[in-house]
Amino acid sequence: MGNFLIGFGVFLAIFGPLLLIPLTWLTYRLVTRPLLTRYTASHRVNNKMVPTALLCAVLLVASTLAISYIPGKLEYRNLCVEYAEPRILEKLTVDGFYRSRVYNYEARELLEKGGFKYVEGPYPSQPERFRRYSKSPQGEFTEIEIQAPISQYGVRDELWETDSGVIVSVKTVYEAANNRELARAANITYQGGPLWILLGSYATSSCPDILTEEGAKDFRTYYDIERIVLNNDAADLNQK
């Protein structure tokens, strides 16, 4: 079932706009043609009425799509201006850090590829409980429950969706003692509004834009901001 749903989602993303053809035809048959027939002197369909009714159906469908799409797109652009460009104020090197949202596989990647000795964070289903992931000198991955985090630095990993359907993911690196911000990076995605299924993937927008050189660089900063800011020695080594 899972594979079917994934495949169906991909199908809609590619071919969803084809649904506009039957939708426009139904709008013509059920809305614009009956209305024109009702409010014309002849009270019957004629050759001149058909193209007019079809044009009205196209305009009605297009207007509905625009009303659905434009508000979210405008909000998306404003959020991109505010968040998309990474902001790094300070870099340093620490043994580990606290992450406000971390799963087992994410912690393992941070330890193995990020060069950290430990990562702390809450249990996903029990935020009042905490655990620490670490890696022994022999390379063994361990996970233990702790009473409270001890990290001097943390990363807030925030994710929310606006009323217009814009998905915002922001990572903020901060100093735990005073909440001083060290860096921030984000990824903003807009799928096209409530009627996205009729627009498919063609209406999807994302910033930073990974198709551009600058956008790809900014996205890598968002993805690796923990390593870039809190393990500067390893970041410099990897860049050489």
Tell me what the pLDDT averaged over the chain comes to: 85
**148 and 185 share one domain:** yes
Is 50 exceeded by the pLDDT of residue 213?
yes
**113 and 221 share one domain:** yes
Q: Residues 98-111: pLDDT tens digits?
A: 999 998 888 998 99
Last residue of a domain, one of 15, 34, 68: 68
For residue 55, give its domain range.
2-68
**124 and 33 share one domain:** no
**104 and 139 share one domain:** yes
**162 and 46 share one domain:** no
Is 70 exceeded by the pLDDT of residue 73?
yes
Q: How far is CA 191 from CA 13, 118, 240, in A?
A: 10, 36, 37
Q: What CA–CA distance (Å, rounded) separates 165 from 145?
A: 37
pLDDT for 201: 76
pLDDT for 2: 44
Percent of the chain with pLDDT over 70: 85
**64 and 91 share one domain:** no
As a three-state string, the secondary structure of 30-52 is: HHHHHHHHHCCCCCCCCCCHHHH
Q: What six digits make up the tokens of 2? A: 């899972």
Give the chain's domain count.
2
Is 90 exceeded by the pLDDT of residue 69?
yes
The secondary structure of residue 165, as a DSSP letter, is: S
**91 and 15 share one domain:** no
The secondary structure of residue 137, as a DSSP letter, is: T
**142 and 207 share one domain:** yes
Has residue 81 been placed in a domain? no
pLDDT for 205: 92
**102 and 218 share one domain:** yes
Has residue 79 been placed in a domain? no
pLDDT for 41: 57
Summarize the confidence of residues 141-168 as an average pLDDT: 93
Structural contact between residues 94 and 110, judged by C-beta atoms closer than 8 angstroms: no
End-to-end CA, the chain? 46
Last residue of a domain, one of 33, 68, 103: 68
**156 and 194 share one domain:** yes
Return the minimum-mean-pLDDT range out of 22-26, 59-63, 230-234.
230-234
Is 90 exceeded by the pLDDT of residue 216?
yes
Has residue 59 been placed in a domain? yes
Q: Residues 103-135: pLDDT tens digits?
A: 888 899 899 888 899 999 999 888 899 999 998
Is 70 exceeded by the pLDDT of residue 55?
yes
Helix, strand or coil, per DSSP, at residue 175: strand
Summarize the confidence of residues 226-238 as an average pLDDT: 70
Has residue 32 been placed in a domain? yes
Distance of CA 129 to the CA centre of its chain: 28
Has residue 6 been placed in a domain? yes
Q: 174 — phi, psi (to 5°)?
A: -145, 165
Summarize the confidence of residues 211-235 as an average pLDDT: 87
Has residue 37 been placed in a domain? yes
Is 90 exceeded by the pLDDT of residue 228?
yes
Return the minimum-mean-pLDDT range out of 100-104, 168-172, 173-177.
100-104
Summarize the confidence of residues 148-168 as an average pLDDT: 94
Last residue of a domain, one of 37, 68, 99: 68
Has residue 80 been placed in a domain? no
Q: What CA–CA distance (Å, rounded) separates 239 from 176?
A: 28
**97 and 160 share one domain:** yes
**19 and 113 share one domain:** no
pLDDT for 207: 95
pLDDT for 136: 77
Q: What CA–CA distance (Å, rounded) separates 129 from 124?
A: 9
Q: 126 — phi, psi (to 5°)?
A: -140, 80
Has residue 73 been placed in a domain? no
Is 80 exceeded by the pLDDT of residue 40?
no
Is 60 exceeded by the pLDDT of residue 90?
yes
Summarize the confidence of residues 201-208 as an average pLDDT: 88
Q: What CA–CA distance (Å, rounded) separates 98 from 230?
A: 11
pLDDT for 45: 54
